[in-house]
Amino acid sequence: MITVVGTGADGWEGLAPPARGLVESAAVVLGGRRHLDLLPPVPGQRREPWPSPLREGLPALLDSLGDEDVVALASGDPLVSGIATTLVDLLGADRVAVVPAVSSVALARAAMRWPAESCAVVSVVGRDVDLVRRELAPGRRVLVLASDERTPAEVARLLLETGYADSAVTVLGDLGGEQEQHLSFASARELLDHPDPQPRLAIVAIACSGPHRGGWVAGLPDEAFEHDGQLTKRDLRASALARLAPTPGDHLWDVGAGAGSVGIEWMRAHPSCSATAVEADTDRAARIARNASALGVPGLSVVSGRAPDALAGLPAPDAVFVGGGATRPGVLDTCLAALRPGGRLVVHGVTLETEQLLAESYRAHGGELTRLSVETAAPIGGFTGWTPARGVTQWTLHR
């Protein structure tokens, strides 16, 4: 059993007596060097700093502890981008106890006087700062957990790139400690114009001011994606995603991904949704990664390869979208076999050969077969008429 004790910036002095007792009675104390240096001497107590790299080195360290009573020190709430999350993943919830302190997020909200329900929290600790893009909207409040002292400038540059340069930014450093500081900037531009050293332990508070960037409901404009024409168009994409039904925690395979639009919108639906985009063309695969970062879901996994071979070893999907290559031998069979119980499959076809395959699949497995046709208004001389797009056959199956 490992007990994770959260500490504030004031370290040992700020711990309540019960938490101090846990630390003093432990045979082994784990923590960052900063945390361990704040502890008073305890004769015979073994103290071990976290390994580097952390995730790779933890199993060996934990194996070396035997059956000793172990306390791990963490900052604030150990389950807010903290070590407790990693330990639970490695050991299981029944082997980890957590004694939290006030989190840095709570301290930041208090400093800004922002109610919890009025702001979003994004952690870029060990993650891509492009995650912030998904949260940007006019009037929105966002708290960004910084990875290090470079994060405030990275966030400011991102705000400039996305049209949010006029957003007010406050850098909240060393919250709860004697060195706590609040650095307020009227805009992201002002922060970049004053590149003074920023605190290493910080939260960046953003009061967003900028243009509407598209919602989380499926159907972003086609212009939101960089593409070479291989793109599931807006109305067809919205129809497919309605049937794929993104659900928190679910994983999608986007097979024959083109520009990656389906996988990207799937992940924008909820921060815990994940996706793997499979694309045979290497240029398009690189383009998918760029689109994912630009639209705030840099965690989209891109596999450059041809299905069905490229599907081997991927995480089992809760939903699969096949936007291209359905007629390739083995693609549909592999996707159907991989689907988890309750999984959803959506396949689009525009050729007669694919339509025939989908009709046969519908007869064999059931589901829903739909013919989608979209027309848009366009000039005809001095008048306006309807211009039809190529019709698409859509097969949907719920396992």
pLDDT averaged over the chain? 95
Structure tokens belonging to residue 235: 């109305």
Residue 316 lies in a domain: yes
End-of-domain residue from the set 87, 102, 117: 102
Contact between 392 and 350 (Cβ < 8 Å):
yes
Residue 359 lies in a domain: yes
Q: Are residues 131 and 186 in the same domain?
A: yes
Q: pLDDT tens digits, residue range 148-184? A: 999 999 999 999 999 999 999 999 999 988 889 999 9
Which residue matches tokens 């309540």?
16
Q: pLDDT tens digits, residue range 295-310? A: 999 999 999 999 999 9
Q: How many domains does the chain have?
A: 3
End-of-domain residue from the set 182, 207, 232: 207
Model pLDDT, residue 301: 98
Residue 38 lies in a domain: yes
Query: What mean pLDDT comes out for the span 275-291?
Result: 97
Model pLDDT, residue 122: 97
Boundaries of domain holding 350: 222-398
Q: Are residues 183 and 282 in the same domain?
A: no
Query: What mean pLDDT comes out for the span 208-212?
Result: 96
pLDDT band, residue 34 (cuts 50/70/90): confident
SS3 120: strand
SS3 376: strand
Q: Are residues 98 and 244 in the same domain?
A: no
Model pLDDT, residue 72: 96
pLDDT band, residue 13 (cuts 50/70/90): confident
Residue 213 lies in a domain: no
pLDDT above 90 (res 10)? no
pLDDT above 90 (res 9)? no
pLDDT above 80 (res 192)? yes
Q: pLDDT tens digits, residue range 311-349? A: 999 999 999 999 989 999 999 999 999 999 999 999 999
Model pLDDT, residue 68: 86
Whole-Å CA distances, 82 to 53, 77, 292, 358, 366: 15, 7, 26, 47, 46
The C-alpha atoms of residue 135 and residue 167 are separated, in whole angstroms, by 13
CATH number at residue 31: 3.40.1010.10
Residue 214 lies in a domain: no
Residue 191 lies in a domain: yes
pLDDT band, residue 67 (cuts 50/70/90): confident
Q: What percent of the chain has pLDDT over 90?
A: 89
The neighbour count for residue 224, using CB atoms within 10 Å, is: 17
Q: Are residues 159 and 122 in the same domain?
A: yes
Q: Are residues 6 and 75 in the same domain?
A: yes
Cα pseudo-dihedral 129, 134, 140, 145, rounded to 10: -30
Q: Are residues 97 and 116 in the same domain?
A: no
pTM (2 decimals)?
A: 0.90
End-of-domain residue from the set 102, 128, 148: 102
Residue 242 lies in a domain: yes
